[in-house]
Amino acid sequence: MDDRQFRTAMGKFATGVTVITTDVEGDVHGMTANAFMSVSLSPKLVVISIGENARILEKIKQSKTFSVNILAADQQELSMIFAGQIKEHREVVFDRLDGKPVLAGAVAQIACEVSAVHVEGDHTLFIGKVTDIHLEDAEPLIFYSGRYRALTEEKTLV
Ligand code: FAD
């Protein structure tokens, strides 16, 4: 098994797209991530996985807080900005939820305080205790097999 085969297999898991945001002394930093999962209902915990070379890693360690912004279908450009896929600097305005930076128009904004940190291989897992949530009624952006997509139809089982 080589790296490419592993990446291809992991890309077969269709996900939403999030932008993780944090701020250190008012300086906001964001990063696109799809390694996000709900962990526990009581207490309410989520997990994100950040690569060892990502600049946001040290920032979350410092701030001990982060927000998860689940992007809407019309926010692909934001995903590309925060993944470095759009190179030139774009001015992004951030709202606040529980004092933490969030992106307006996201399907869900989830404000978190870091409750545990686990280094696993070349990634760091941050467990976040959820401190506040804001929801919008919008369709999500989807990522599958390395490409952005949108939901097309609702399948019913009966
Ligand atoms: P930087 O390279 O420092 O920043 C990324 C980009 O965001 C830069 O272009 C920067 O200009 C811009 N930016 C940052 N803050 C601001 C701001 N305040 N205003 C305007 N622009 C700003 N990597 C992971 O580690 N984990 C994942 O789960 C993950 N999932 C991904 C899912 C998808 C769909 C994609 C496309 C990428 C994913 N990545 C993931 C890769 C990751 O998004 C990139 O490697 C990212 O560029 C690394 O982030 P960084 O903190 O080093 O950010």
User: Which residue in this structure is represented by tokens 């077969």?
Assistant: 12
At residue 154, the pLDDT reads 79
Query: Is the CB of 51 within 6 Å of ligand 1?
Result: yes
pTM of this prediction exceeds 0.85 = yes
Relative to beta strand 141-144, strand 18-24 is unpaired
The amino acid at 112:
C
| pLDDT score of 1 | 82
Question: In this structure, is the dihedral angle defined by the CA atoms of residues 149, 150, 153 and 158, taken in order, positive or negative?
Answer: positive
- pLDDT, residue 138, reads 96
Among 82, 87, 100, 143, say which to mutate for ligand 1: greatest number of ligand atoms within 8 Å of CB.
82
In the chain, the percentage of residues whose pLDDT exceeds 90 is 92
Mean pLDDT across 104-118? 98
Measure 65 CA to ligand 1 centroid, in angstroms. Answer: 17
* Dist. CA 17–CA 141, nearest whole Å: 6
From the list 18, 109, 30, 22, the residue with the least C-alpha distance to 71 is 18
Q: Is 33 helix (H, G, I), strand (E, B) or coil?
A: strand
